[in-house]
Every structure is written in C-alpha cells, then in structure tokens.
Amino acid sequence: MKRSLIRRALIVFVVAMTSGLGIRPASSQEKSVRPGINKPFRKPDVKKFVERFEREGREVYDLRHKIVEACGVRAGMAVADIGAGTGLFTRLFAKKVGPTGRVYAVDISQQFIDHIRETCRESGMSNVQAVLCTATSCQLPENSIDLAFICDTYHHFEYPYKTMRSVYRALKPDGQLVLVEFKREKGKSSDWILKHVRAGKETFRKEIELWGFEFIDEKTFPAMKKSYFLRFRKSDRLTAAGHTQDSLDTVKRLLADGTAILIDVREQNEWSAGHLADAKLFPLSRLRDLAGRPEAADRLAKQLPKDKIIYCHCRSGRRVLVAAEILRGFGYDIRPLSAGYADLRRAGFADAGPSENR
C-alpha cells in the first residue's frame, strides 16, 4: 500500500513538473569519446611530469615563447590556460598580462593545481588563479576571459561539446580561442600519436566550429613539425536570416549521439496532427509566457538541459526565430532550423504520425 502511494505521488510530481511545458525531461549525458584517457592524471607524480613537459626536445617547450607571442596576449588581459598541467604556459602568460591582468590555470588534476599555486606563489605571481575543472566544464565564470589557450589538451576532453561550451560561455563576446595540438597523420605521425590522439586537425577544427566558434587562421612556425596552431573566435553560426548553419546530416548525428535534442515549437493542435519521433513539444505560446521572467529559469532547466545543443523546428522556419531569441535569453545553445516539419520528414527524420500529447 505504501509503495503504491509513493509511486502515485511520484507520478503526480513528474506530471506537474512537465505538463506546464508539454514535454518530458531529457537526459543530459552523452558518452565519453575517450573513456579513461585522463586516468594518468588522477594522482600524477608531478615531478616526473615536470621533467616530461618542461624539457628541451619537446616541441611546444622549445617553441613556447613563439607560441605565446603568436597568441597576441597584452597587458591587462584575462587568459585561461586550459589543461595547464605543470604551469609552463601559465607562468609565461602571467608575465605577459602583468599585474593588471589575470591568468586562470585550469586543470583536472588537483596535484597539478597545487603545484601551480605553489610555484606561482614562490615566483611572486599574484595574478594567477588555479582552477580545478571537471570532465565537462572548465569551471570559469561567464564572460571572464579574453583568450582561451588549449595546448596538447583538446584530445583529452572526454566530453568535448560540454567542455567547449563552458569555454564558449567563459569567453567575452570578442574573445578568442587558440588550439595547439599534435598533428595526427597516418604514415607520418608516431604510433603513440596515432593511438593516443583520436583525430586529426580537420576533424578537430570542424568540431570546434560546430561547438560555436569561427576559424580565423593558422599560424605556422618553421620549427613546428609535430604540432599545429589554430585560432578561433566566438560565433553564433547563424545565416543572415537567423537560422543555424548546421547541416541536417550534422543535426541527425548529434541527435543520435546525445549531444543535441530537438524541440517542436508549433502548437498542440499541430503536434497532434503529426510530429517527428525524436522531437519534444515546446509550444511557442508557452515560451512567450516565460520570456523576460528570470524566476522561470530553474523551471525551464528541469525540462530543457543546458548542457546540450537545442535544435528547434516549426512549420516553415519563422516561429523558431522567436523561440530561439527567448531561449538564448535563458542561456541556451539554441539553433533554429530553417527546415519545417514537412521538410524534415522529407530529409529522413522519423515521423511519429498523428497522436495525442506525449
């Protein structure tokens, strides 16, 4: 009897939480792209990593000053060294930004964080703040940095979309991202690189663009043989009309791997007449009721995860622009599709057919 009552109470609670928006809660966890890759950094021997990272013969160490110079760091800037490791680049950036600037040394290893704090304190670098990150977030405040620097670290991101979106949020509107990574070229790269680094330059560049960045340029150095240097800026990746530039094939892939979800902003009667199998109903009329109400953010977050790409569609691609503007106001990575319901069906998105409210 008790179990039955508890079960009924839970059902009532879930219905109450979801009925106001017409959708069901969504899972917010996609699979790791490289499970276990960061295991060596759980309890690293810092001394051994200093010897490994800060030595002559390691390409990025030999080119460290040229790399920092190419980043265009100036006095007073806020820089995030993401995957700071032993603090090699952290210390160089700290000298560049000076006492009026700030460097965030971000790493997933507490041992590295402790080492950076100690070495910077010994060097009198009071403009360095060490930040312990997670597997899904750089843990930096929004709009806090001018430059995000990621060196030999991107391939260690187990959840690249979530991590890079946290970087995106941390960057100021005109902020830039610098990626220094290993070249991965079959027939040229070492066996270690081929096994350790999951993809090459073009794949990583396309991923980063998809996560919300625009490619600026590639810097080359005569002595840089094993690595590459790419520069990006924040971008909304929208067409002149305001729709996402993402292809429908990309949308399908990101829906399939759990990086994205799809919402339908048409009204209930349209949904009941036919809808896509993977879509969740989120009527524009309800969204308009939430617009401009900060207190609605928590309620919204229970229905719509903030750590996923949100694609939205309607009948003809117009209402999604209004919906996108509202959801951006709540901090979502919302990407309105120009393709409507019928277009998406023709493009191969599974159709659930007519139904009652799900």
Q: What is the pLDDT of residues 338-355, one digit of tens each?
A: 999 999 999 999 999 887
Residue 119 and residue 126: Cα distance in Å, rounded?
11
Please give the structure tokens belonging to residue 168.
């995106």
Which has more pLDDT, 19 or 31?
Answer: 31
- pLDDT tens digit string along 119-130? 999 999 999 999
* For residues 9-25, average pLDDT: 38
Pairing of strands 260-264, 279-281: parallel
Cβ atoms of residues 138 and 170 within 8 Å? yes
Cβ atoms of residues 253 and 349 within 8 Å? no
Poorest-confidence range of 27-41, 51-65, 93-107?
27-41
Closest CA to 342 of 318, 319, 322, 313: 313
Q: Give the amino acid at 294.
A: P
The confidence band for 234, taking pLDDT boundaries of 50, 70 and 90, is: very high
- pLDDT tens digit string along 256-280? 999 999 999 999 999 999 999 999 9
Residue 192 and residue 185: Cα distance in Å, rounded?
12
Q: How far is CA 206 from CA 173, 230, 340, in A?
A: 21, 12, 26
Please give the structure tokens belonging to residue 6.
């508890």
Q: Give the amino acid at 146.
A: D
User: Does residue 242 have a pLDDT over 90?
Assistant: yes
Instruction: Give the residue ranges of DSSP H helices in the chain.
Output: 2-19, 46-53, 59-62, 64-70, 88-97, 110-122, 160-170, 191-196, 201-210, 248-256, 268-273, 284-290, 297-303, 319-328, 341-346
* For residues 179-208, average pLDDT: 97
User: Does residue 9 have a pLDDT over 80?
Assistant: no
- Residue 209 has a pLDDT of 97
Domains observed in the chain: 39-234 (3.40.50.150), 239-353 (3.40.250.10)
Cβ atoms of residues 175 and 146 within 8 Å? yes
Which has more pLDDT, 15 or 238?
Answer: 238
- Residue 58 has a pLDDT of 97
Which has more pLDDT, 16 or 286?
Answer: 286
Torsion sign across C-alpha atoms 185, 187, 190, 195: positive
Counting Cα atoms < 13 Å in the Cβ hemisphere of 322 gives 17
Residue 336 and residue 42: Cα distance in Å, rounded?
40
Which residues lie below 8 Å from residue 83, measured CB to CB, with a gap of 6+? 106, 107, 108, 150, 151, 152, 153, 154, 156
- pLDDT tens digit string along 211-223? 999 999 999 999 9
Q: Please state the separation of Cα 274 from the chain's center in Å.
A: 33
User: Does residue 283 have a pLDDT over 90?
Assistant: yes
Which residues lie below 8 Å from residue 5, measured CB to CB, with a gap of 6+? none
Q: At what angle do helices 46-53 and 110-122 cross, to 10 degrees?
A: 70
| Whole-number average pLDDT of the chain | 91
The confidence band for 21, taking pLDDT boundaries of 50, 70 and 90, is: very low
User: Does residue 358 have a pLDDT over 60?
Assistant: no
pTM for the model: 0.86
- Residue 28 has a pLDDT of 40
* For residues 282-294, average pLDDT: 92
SS3 301: helix
Please give the structure tokens belonging to residue 356.
């009652």
Residue 43 and residue 314: Cα distance in Å, rounded?
50
Residue 124 and residue 117: Cα distance in Å, rounded?
10
Backbone angles phi, psi at 213, to 5 degrees: -125, 155
- pLDDT tens digit string along 91-101? 999 999 999 99
Closest CA to 169 of 64, 307, 284: 307
- pLDDT tens digit string along 300-341? 988 999 899 999 999 999 999 999 999 999 999 999 999 999
- pLDDT tens digit string along 64-90? 999 999 999 999 999 999 999 999 999
- Residue 319 has a pLDDT of 97
User: Does residue 246 have a pLDDT over 80?
Assistant: yes
* For residues 106-113, average pLDDT: 98
- Residue 2 has a pLDDT of 43
User: Does residue 38 have a pLDDT over 50?
Assistant: yes
